[in-house]
A and B are shown apart, each in its own frame.
Chain A
Amino acid sequence: MASAVPATGRELSNPPSDGITNLRFSNHSDHLLVSSWDKSVRLYDASANVLRGEFMHAGPVLDCCFHDDSSGFSVAADNTVRRLVFSSNKEDILGRHDAPVRCVEYSYAAGQLITGSWDKTLKCWDPRGASGQERTLVGTYPQPERVYSLSLVGHRLVVATAGRHVNIYDLRNMSQPEQRRESSLKYQTRCVRCYPNGTGYALSSVEGRVAMEFFDLSEASQAKKYAFKCHRKSEAGRDIVYPVNAIAFHPIYGTFATGGCDGYVNVWDGNNKKRLYQYSKYPTSVAALSFSRDGRLLAVASSYTFEEGPKSQEQDAIFVRSVNEIEVKPKPKVYPNPPA
Chain B
Amino acid sequence: MGKKKKRVSSKVWCYYCDREFDDEKILVQHQKAKHFKCHVCHKKLSTAGGMAIHVLQVHKESVTKVPNAKPGRESTDIEIYGMQGIPPDILAAHYGEEEDDVPSKAAKVDIPPTQLVGGMIPPPLGTGYPPRPTLPTMPPMYNPAVPVPPNAWMVPPRPQPWFSQPPAVSVPPAAPYTQQPLFPVQNVRPPLPATAPALQTQITPPGLPTSAPVPVSQPLFPVVGNNHTTTQSSTFSAPPLPSSVPSVTSVMSANVPVDTHLSSNSSVTSSYQAIGIPGGAASNSHSYASGPNTGGPSIGPPPVIANKAPATQPATNEVYLVWDDEAMSMEERRMSLPKYQVHDESSQVSHTTSLIDGVAFTSNQMSIGFMLPVFRFSCLHIVSYLKRYILYKFLILF
Is B a genuine binding partner of A? Answer: yes
CA distance A275 to B267 in the complex (A): 32
Per a CB cutoff under 8 Å, which of B318, B326, B333 touches A187? B326
Per a CB cutoff under 8 Å, which of A77, A188, A264, A308 touches B342? A77
CA distance A169 to B342 in the complex (A): 32
Per a CB cutoff under 8 Å, which of A98, A233, A334 touches B286? A233
| CB-based contact B285/A336 at 8 Å | no
Which B residues lie within 8 Å of A242 (CB)? 322
B334 contacts the other chain (Cβ, under 8 Å)? yes
CA distance A289 to B35 in the complex (A): 42
Stretch of A1-9, A106-114, A222-230 with 4 or more beta carbons under 8 angstroms from chain B: A222-230
Which A residues lie within 8 Å of B320 (CB)? 238-241
A340 contacts the other chain (Cβ, under 8 Å)? yes
Per a CB cutoff under 8 Å, which of A78, A96, A148, A232 touches B285? A232
Contact residues of B between 282 and 336, Cβ < 8 Å to A: 282-291, 294, 314-315, 318-327, 329-335
CA distance A241 to B288 in the complex (A): 11
| CB closest chain-A residue, reference B318 | A238
Report B152 CB to chain A, min CB distance, Å. Answer: 15
B241 contacts the other chain (Cβ, under 8 Å)? no
B169 contacts the other chain (Cβ, under 8 Å)? yes
| CB-based contact B287/A278 at 8 Å | yes
Report B49 CB to chain A, min CB distance, Å. Answer: 10
With A226-B281, A240-B320 known as contacts, the answer to whether A310 contacts B337 (CB < 8 A) is: yes
Per a CB cutoff under 8 Å, which of A62, A99, A230 touches B289? A230
| CB-based contact A307/B330 at 8 Å | yes
| CB-based contact B330/A305 at 8 Å | yes
Contact residues of A between 184 and 214, Cβ < 8 Å to B: 184, 186-188, 190, 206-207, 209
Report A214 CB to chain B, min CB distance, Å. Answer: 13
| CB-based contact A188/B326 at 8 Å | yes
Report B115 CB to chain A, min CB distance, Å. Answer: 24
What's the interface size class on B, roughly?
35 or more
| CB-based contact A206/B286 at 8 Å | no
Which B residues lie within 8 Å of A131 (CB)? none
Residue of B56, B173, B283 ringed by the most chain A CB atoms within 10 A: B283
A88 contacts the other chain (Cβ, under 8 Å)? no
Per a CB cutoff under 8 Å, which of A21, A146, A233, A243 touches B323? A243
Which A residues lie within 8 Å of B362 (CB)? 99
Stretch of A121-129, A172-180, A266-274, A292-300 with 4 or more beta carbons under 8 angstroms from chain B: A266-274
With A102-B331, A226-B281, A230-B289 known as contacts, the answer to whether A240 contacts B357 (CB < 8 A) is: no
| CB-based contact A58/B326 at 8 Å | no
CA distance A260 to B276 in the complex (A): 30
Residue of B169, B286, B324 ringed by the most chain A CB atoms within 10 A: B286
CA distance A19 to B337 in the complex (A): 14
Per a CB cutoff under 8 Å, which of B325, B358, B361, B392 touches A186? B392
Which A residues lie within 8 Å of B28 (CB)? none
| CB closest chain-A residue, reference B57 | A336
Which B residues lie within 8 Å of A153 (CB)? none
| CB-based contact A229/B56 at 8 Å | no
| CB closest chain-A residue, reference B345 | A58
What's the interface size class on A, roughly?
35 or more
A261 contacts the other chain (Cβ, under 8 Å)? yes
Which B residues lie within 8 Å of A232 (CB)? 285-286, 288-291
| CB-based contact B322/A230 at 8 Å | no
| CB closest chain-B residue, reference A340 | B172
| CB-based contact B398/A222 at 8 Å | yes
B160 contacts the other chain (Cβ, under 8 Å)? yes
With A59-B344, A98-B358, A275-B284 known as contacts, the answer to whether A239 contacts B318 (CB < 8 A) is: yes
| CB-based contact B286/A187 at 8 Å | no
Which B residues lie within 8 Å of A187 (CB)? 321, 326
CA distance A310 to B333 in the complex (A): 10
CA distance A240 to B288 in the complex (A): 10
B157 contacts the other chain (Cβ, under 8 Å)? yes
| CB closest chain-A residue, reference B327 | A162
| CB-based contact B329/A339 at 8 Å | no
| CB-based contact B172/A99 at 8 Å | no
B375 contacts the other chain (Cβ, under 8 Å)? no
B53 contacts the other chain (Cβ, under 8 Å)? yes
A60 contacts the other chain (Cβ, under 8 Å)? yes
A37 contacts the other chain (Cβ, under 8 Å)? yes
| CB-based contact B280/A273 at 8 Å | yes
With A334-B56, A334-B62 known as contacts, the answer to whether A240 contacts B322 (CB < 8 A) is: yes
CA distance A230 to B283 in the complex (A): 9
B192 contacts the other chain (Cβ, under 8 Å)? no
| CB-based contact A228/B285 at 8 Å | yes
Which A residues lie within 8 Å of B169 (CB)? 339
| CB-based contact B322/A184 at 8 Å | no
CA distance A268 to B284 in the complex (A): 9
With A228-B283, A229-B286 known as contacts, the answer to whether A118 contacts B322 (CB < 8 A) is: no
| CB-based contact A59/B340 at 8 Å | yes
Report A274 CB to chain B, min CB distance, Å. Answer: 6
Residue interface mask A249-272, B partner, CB < 8 A = 1:
000000000000100101010001
| CB-based contact B56/A336 at 8 Å | yes
| CB closest chain-B residue, reference A240 | B320
Which A residues lie within 8 Å of B294 (CB)? 229
Residue interface mask A27-69, B partner, CB < 8 A = 1:
0000000000100000000000000000000111010000000
Report B240 CB to chain A, min CB distance, Å. Answer: 36
With A232-B286, A239-B290, A273-B280 known as contacts, the answer to whether A21 contacts B322 (CB < 8 A) is: no
Q: What 10 A-B pairs come out closest when comparing CB atoms?
A: A340-B172, A59-B342, A228-B283, A228-B284, A233-B288, A306-B334, A229-B285, A234-B290, A206-B323, A58-B344
26 A-B pairs within 8 Å (CB atoms) are namely A21-B331, A37-B334, A58-B343, A59-B340, A60-B340, A62-B331, A98-B358, A118-B332, A119-B361, A148-B329, A184-B395, A226-B283, A228-B284, A229-B291, A232-B285, A234-B288, A238-B319, A239-B289, A239-B319, A240-B322, A266-B286, A274-B284, A307-B322, A308-B322, A339-B169, A340-B156
Other than the given A79-B354, A162-B327, A306-B330, 11 more pairs (CB < 8 A) read A59-B344, A60-B335, A60-B340, A78-B342, A96-B351, A187-B321, A239-B315, A308-B322, A309-B333, A310-B337, A340-B160
